[in-house]
């Protein structure tokens, strides 16, 4: 039986509040806007331990990376994190506040009102003959 894990939004909120990842901060806590360090790996001075920390921690949390067992893959971690973040209906990027290039690159996101899940809905497994 797979173990349960925290979903991305509450996991992110916990990480922001704990201040355990440098650069992952509230930009405007009242409006639930936060910044994620988003430095490009090709930049001079990029370091996996600092610049890919949030992506690595999410990969560990989801079981996609096991330190000491699997090889580090920060490019994939970042892509998986971006994909998971972009799939959430209640978190949207604030593009005009994001900084896309340079050593201070960040992406700013805003947490919207949480979208409640519909209970009791399941995909139809019937065939249409």
Confidence label for 117 from pLDDT (cuts 50, 70 and 90): low
| Domain range annotation of the chain | 8-111
* Burial (0-12, 13-18, 19+ Cβ within 10 Å), 51: buried
Confidence label for 43 from pLDDT (cuts 50, 70 and 90): confident
Region 10-20: mean pLDDT is: 96
* Topology at the third CATH level for domain 8-111: Arc Repressor Mutant, subunit A (1.10.10)
**How far apart (Å, rounded) are the C-alpha atoms in residues 43 and 63?**
28
pTM of the full structure = 0.82
Query: How do strand 91-93 and strand 106-111 relate by DSSP bridges?
Result: antiparallel
**How far apart (Å, rounded) are the C-alpha atoms in residues 2 and 13?**
23
**pLDDT on residue 88:** 95
3-state SS assignment for residue 104: coil
């Amino acid at each position: 039986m797979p173990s349960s894990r925290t979903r991305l939004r509450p996991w992110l909120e916990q990480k922001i509040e704990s201040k355990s990842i440098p650069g992952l901060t509230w930009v405007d806590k009242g409006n639930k806007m936060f910044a994620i360090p988003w430095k490009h790996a090709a930049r001079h001075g990029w370091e996996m331990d600092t610049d890919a920390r949030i992506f690595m921690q999410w990969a560990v949390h989801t079981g996609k990376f096991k330190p000491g067992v699997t090889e580090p893959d920060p490019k994939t971690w970042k892509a998986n994190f971006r994909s998971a973040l972009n799939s959430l209906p209640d978190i949207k990027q604030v593009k005009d506040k994001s900084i896309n290039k340079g050593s201070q690159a960040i992406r700013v996101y805003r947490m919207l009102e949480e979208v409640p899940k519909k209970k009791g809905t399941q995909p139809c497994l019937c065939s249409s003959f």
